[in-house]
Amino acid sequence: MASGRRLTVLVVALALVGAPAMVLRALCVGKSCAQEDIAAASAVPFCPLPEALRDQIVAGYRQGRSPDVMGTTIASTLVRGWPASPYRPDANRVPIAFFGAGVVPGSLPPGTGVDQIAPTLEGLMGFDRSHPEVRSGQQIEGIVRGSTHPRLIVEIVWMDVGSTFPQNHAPRLLDALGSSGEAASGEATTGSMPVDPAAILTSIGTGGIPAEHGITGRTIRSADGAAVSAWGPNAPPSIIATLADDWDHATDERARIGLIAPDATAQGVVGGNWYLEHDRDDLVFGDGDPVDIASSLVRSGFGADATSDILAVVLDGGVFRMDARTRALVGSISELVPDTTFVLTATGPGHSRSENGTSTVSARSVVRGVEAAIGAPVVASAVAGGLFLDQDVMASNEITSDDVVRAMETLKAPGGGRLFADAYPGFAVGFSRYC
């Protein structure tokens, strides 16, 4: 909890940003505090969560892009992709493996972040991006071999996979990749929460965390206040450029950039709309066979000259299917372009199934519970970690975000007891420095 002075500053700040009722409670105008329990009145939204968890949520939050109200579940019940308290490091643990041309085999340090992938690839490419201060990611030391740059870089990302992947699949997968060796860790991290594929893919692509790049999930808030699909036609762009964007610009588009993914929300791994004059990237979305598509792109010229090309392949559909496709991708591309560097990673656990007896709740059931408690269809969209609210419905029904927070606090887990350890307006995350 905050100290007395810092707590007062935070309560007043939150009150000024929030609803008038919060101002009355903070200042006790008209004896509005007379009936409140002193301990309850002193509780500050978001601050009661463990510091390690707060840090991860802060890293995943961007004012004006993130949900209007957010929540952290009690760890015995998971909502897909939402943070849970107490914080477990494996909640956003992922594998990272570099292998192929230019990679020195070895172990990556535990805690290596996905935001370090792009800076490390810079070193492999011999490329120095401008304004490194806008990105948190730093190059992983000791895994770049010499000054020979690969003709092709292939980034393979598994959707909705986390800490279970390295234990069950990485060893046999990496053993099958060849004799070049790999620099790998099964204890890397997304570096932020909530665990949302669109956010993590953009962290991989940019070398920054969501707080820096602003793609906080599959749905984000647009400039006109609408909840829109990330990377869609009406969506605001990433706040910082991707490595592929900068490399494409630096080479006057001699470099070829490609992406094969289930849908456009994965576009953050390569970007494509930072430099408006660049519009020739090969972006393929849908259910086609990624192995066939990737092989076709490589045959069309990826990796054909000394300028490093970048091809990202985002896979979904279950661990065993992704494992088989990864093996086929690596085998096919290695044969076509031997001078290829591969990166294999994942977007983090999706919590689609019960883990170790932990019960799960769908985001849809959260929406139903909130709207039943409120008595109005107030939720515009539910994403990992929070809810975007329909401002028109709120205005016409005189509903505040504080009302929605209180509704979230009343929701029950399947086995009884509270579902949420804490619920809070999104802006409370921005004041975390006062906790």
Q: Which carries the bigger pLDDT value, residue 172 or residue 248?
A: 248
First to last CA, the chain: 6
Q: Does the domain made of 90-346 have the CATH classification 3.40.50? A: no
Total H helices, total E strands in the chain: 16, 17
The model carries a pTM of 0.87
**Looking at beta carbons, which pairs linking 219-224 to residues 24 or more positions away fall under 8 Å?**
219/381, 219/383, 219/388, 220/65, 220/66, 221/64, 221/65, 221/66, 221/388
Q: How confident is the model at residue 27 (pLDDT cuts 50, 70, 90)?
A: very low
In this structure, the dihedral spanned by the alpha carbons of residues 163, 169, 172 and 177, taken in order and rounded to 10 degrees, is -80
Ranking 253-257, 349-353, 359-363, 405-409 by mean pLDDT, the lowest is 349-353
pLDDT (average), residues 292-307: 97
420 pLDDT higher than 70: yes
pLDDT category at 358 given cuts 50, 70, 90 is low
What pLDDT does residue 320 have? Answer: 84
pLDDT at 76: 83
pLDDT at residue 20, rounded to an integer: 39
Tens of pLDDT, residues 6-19:
434 443 343 434 44
User: Is residue 177 scored above 90 in pLDDT?
Assistant: no
pLDDT of residue 225: 86
pLDDT of residue 64: 93
Q: Identify residue 350 by its one-letter amino acid code.
A: G
Which one has a higher pLDDT value, 43 or 422? 422
Instruction: Flag whether pLDDT at 77 surpasses 90.
Output: no
CA dihedral (164, 169, 173, 175) in degrees, to 10, reads 100
**184 Cβ partners below 8 Å, 6+ apart?**
95, 96, 97, 98, 99, 107, 108, 170, 174
% helix, strand, coil for the chain, step of 5: 35, 20, 45
Alpha carbon 262 to chain centroid, angstroms:
17
What does the H/E/C string look like for 355-366?
CCCCEEECHHHH
C-alpha distances out from residue 214 to 64, 142, 231, 307, Å: 9, 30, 11, 30
Average pLDDT, the chain: 85
| Residue pLDDT, tens place only, 110-169 | 899 999 999 999 999 999 999 999 999 999 999 988 777 999 999 999 998 875 544 444
Asked if residue 11 lies in contact with residue 44, where contact means CB atoms within 8 angstroms, the answer is yes
Say which range, 68-77, 145-154, 179-188, 371-380, has the weakest mean pLDDT.
179-188
Residues 338-357: tens digit of each pLDDT:
999 999 999 998 654 444 55
89-93, 210-214, 365-369, range with the lowest pLDDT:
89-93
- Residues 317-333 have pLDDT tens digits of 888 889 899 999 999 99
CATH 3.40.720 domain residues, the chain: 90-346
Paired strand residues for 284 = 260
Higher pLDDT, 6 or 108: 108
pLDDT reported for residue 79? 86
User: For residue 15, what pLDDT is reported?
Assistant: 42
E strands, 248-376, are: 257-261, 282-285, 309-315, 340-346, 359-361
What is the pLDDT at residue 5? 41
pLDDT for residue 163: 56
Can you list the alpha helix ranges (DSSP code H) found in 169-229?
170-175, 197-206, 210-213
The pairing of beta strand 386-389 with beta strand 379-383: antiparallel
